[in-house]
Amino acid sequence: MQDHSPAATSSESAVAREAIALVQQYAAPLIVSCLILVFAYFLSAWGRRIVLRACERAELDTTLARFFAKLTRWLILIVAITFVLNRFGFETASFSVLLGAVGLAVSLAFQGTLSNFAAGVMLMVFRPYKIGDTIVAAGQVGTVDEIDLFSTTMDTVDNRRIFVPNSMIFGAVITNNSAHPLRRVEVQVVLQHDVDSGAAHAALVRAAQRVPGRSNEAPDAFIQDITALGVVWLVFVWGPSADVVKLRRDLLREVHQGVRAANLPFAVSNNQPGN
C-alpha cells in the first residue's frame, strides 16, 4: 500500500528537487566539459599539422619538426584538461601539489622510463643523428624512422622495425654512417706471396675504376698486411653514402673478375679440405 500522506509527498518532492538541482549543477558543466575536450582533441591534431607544415616551410630538420608538433599537441590537451578541472572546482595549485607527489612516486617506480626520457631530450639537443640516417647504435644497424622522447625506431635492410630505448643509445657509442655525403668502400684481397706487387696493384686499381656509381675521387689499392697465408691487399673506392651496399657488391665483383683476368693467384688456406 502506497503512502499518500502529506509527509511522504513532501519527502518525494524534496528528493525530486534535489535531483533536478544536481542535474542543473553538474549536467550542463559535464556536457560543456565533454565538448571542450572533444574540441581540444581536434584542435590539438590541427595544431600539430600546422606546426609540422610551418617547420617544413622553414626547412627545419624533420626530427625537430616532429618533436615540436607533438609538443604543441600535448600542450593544447593539457590546457584543456586544466580548464575542465577548474570548471568543476578543482584548484590548480592544490592539483599541482598532488600531481607533484604522484609524479615523485611514479618517478621512483619508473626510473628506467625517466632515463629514456632524459636520454631522448639529450638526443634532441645534441642530435647525433636524424631521421633518415643509417646508424649503428645499441648493437643494432638500421635507418632511423622516428625519434621519440622514449625510444628510437629503426628499419633494417631486411625490412624489420626495431624499437630501441633512448637510454641504451645515448649511453653507448653511436656510429652515424650517413653523416657525410661520401664514404669509402673497401674490400680485402689475399694473394699469394710470389705475386708481383706492381702487377697486382695495377690490376686491382683497374678493377676499382670499373665500379659503376663511384665518385670522382681516385680509387686505390695498397698492401695492408703480410701474413703466413699471403699478402693482404686493401682495395677501395669512394661513393655516395646512400649507395654503400651496392658499391661494395660491385667492387667485389670487379675485383674478383680483375684478379682472375690478370692471372693473379689467390692465397689458399692449408686448412681447406683436401689439402
pLDDT at residue 10 in the model: 57
Domain total in the chain: 3
Residues 201 and 171 in one domain: no
Q: Which three cell numbers stand for residue 99?
A: 600531481
**What confidence score (pLDDT) does residue 225 get?**
95
Residues 101, 30, single domain; the answer is yes
Residue 117 lies in a domain: no
pLDDT at 272: 44
Domain span including residue 131: 126-176
Residues 80 and 66 in one domain: yes
Task: Determine whether 153 is exposed, middle or buried from the number of CB atoms within 10 Å of its CB (0-12, 13-18, 19+).
Answer: middle
pLDDT at res. 94: 56
- Same structural domain, 163 and 195: no
Could you tell me if residue 143 is inside a domain? yes
Q: Is 166 in the same domain as 194?
A: no
Of 102, 103, 43, 100, the closest CA to residue 77 belongs to 43
Do 172 and 187 lie in a common domain? Answer: no
> Does 147 share its domain with 209?
no
Low-confidence residues of the chain: pLDDT under 70: 1-28, 60-61, 63, 87-112, 269-275
Name 134's Cβ contacts closer than 8 Å, sequence gap at least 6: 141, 142, 143, 144, 176, 177, 178, 241
Report pLDDT for 273.
43
* Residue 221: inside a domain: yes
User: pTM for the full model?
Assistant: 0.59
In a domain, 167, yes or no: yes
Q: Are residues 200 and 170 in the same domain?
A: no
Strands (E) across the chain are located at: 134-137, 140-147, 151-155, 161-165, 175-176, 182-191, 220-226, 231-240
Q: Are 65 and 52 in contact (CB under 8 A)?
A: yes
Shared-domain flag, residues 96 and 167: no
The whole-angstrom separation of Cα 149 and Cα 86 is 29
> Does 57 map to a domain?
yes
Answer whether residue 118 is part of any domain.
Answer: no
Q: What is the CATH number of the domain that holds 196?
A: 3.30.70.100
User: What's the pLDDT score for residue 275?
Assistant: 38
Q: Flag whether 115 is in a domain.
A: no
Residue 270 included in any domain? no
Contact 118, 128 (CB under 8 A): no
Backbone angles phi, psi at 27, to 5 degrees: -65, -50
CATH code (residue 144): 2.30.30.60
Looking at the fold, whether 100 and 136 belong to one and the same domain comes out as no
